[in-house]
Structure 1
Amino acid sequence: LMTLYMTDGTTPAIIREAKASGVVFAVKYYPAGATTNSDSGVTKIENIYPVLETMAEIGMPLLVHGEVTDQAVDIFDREAEFIRTVLVPLIARFPTLKLVMEHITTADAVAFVAQAPANVAATITCHHLLYNRNDIHYSPKTCGCIAIFQGGLRPHKYCLPVLKRETHRLALLDAVKSGNPKFFLGTDSAPHIVDKKHSGCASYPFESSQVVPLRAGESIAWKRLDA
């Protein structure tokens, strides 16, 4: 199925033309900078309100990467924050918009989709069903039991949205096992060239050159610097 990449420049006319083509099934909404190759995404949800109104009118689904991009929000909380600040108001404003929250990773998303109107659904990936951020449940007899941060960053366990804690993985499993048709498979398979993906590294920065100035500055701030 072909989808369009939503940008700040997408117009209602483009959406109508895409629908009329019979080729384009849906439109993908990436918050700008939220994931790989999303720099041209939407910078502010309000920028596309006219487009969303048209999509709701003609029945064109919106496929959402559901994470905020505010760097002040912890990366493990960005999905829940997106639901609270973007999706809840969005559904209230466009109650008939067909919306699929892609590759959900949290119990928050499961609860949100389950309680939302029938036109709201979600996809779940295989990797978010199999792994948590520690991989404590995963069998070394299959693909190994290496956590994303074990002995350094493990690039093949790194994805966006990032793997979450075990309680969230179990919530995803429960959603799948429930038989609720609002939850279905979304592979989110994203192959990368080796140079882009093999970037694992040991943890901790080299900071010896910063320790003395930092401690001195701290001491001055607290009036504790010895003569």
Structure 2
Amino acid sequence: MVTNTEKIRIQKRTYRHHTWSQMYFEHMLEQYAAEANLRLRAIASLPNLGVFSDEAHHTYGREIGQRLKRVRQTVDYLHENTDLICVVNTTGTPYYERQPLRDVVIWYGLSEGIRDGILKPVEGSIYAYDFEPQHADRFVAEVLRDFFAAYGDVTLPNGAPAKLAMYFPQTKDLGELRPVVEQTLMEMGYPTDVVLRNTSKSTQAEIDAFNRLNHPTRPTG
């Protein structure tokens, strides 16, 4: 079972309806408290439960000495309500305010991963760009040109073409910069239908296309 922390963590609901009567409001509070996150309770009912938590540094924070973070509370809840076999936390950032976390028991550094062939060396492959924020279009165009120059003809072992993912802070940024993406592709001789949007507003056709990303017949993009 793999789940996002937001789906199971112990949390308080936010109430924005200011016209409820006090009695009704208290009733709703009791109802939500009794709910106690059904997903978390379902997980707690599993036998032989082990917890593997990524990004474990989120269990720490500025108030760790006063109040445990919600993620830590969730793990404690499972510990108190189940017979946990083990709890394994992993993180690529085992620090808090530049100090190593005291309960790190195994350390495997980036350089070790490169040395052992698990990660690729980055020597000679890092490029610095200097664009003003208002020139995001130039940056996007340059990234596309660089990607297709290096990986336009590259395929994965199963024959699927190489792909480039571009993340935008807001949907409106995607709307503003997608024309730049399409124009740059046309200038390089690529069809614009290789562009695939994936947001909360994606159509079913876009979702289906996204699920076929690794198919050998999928166009580069």
Greater gyration radius: 2
TM-score, scaled relative to structure 1: 0.28
TM-score, scaled relative to structure 2: 0.29
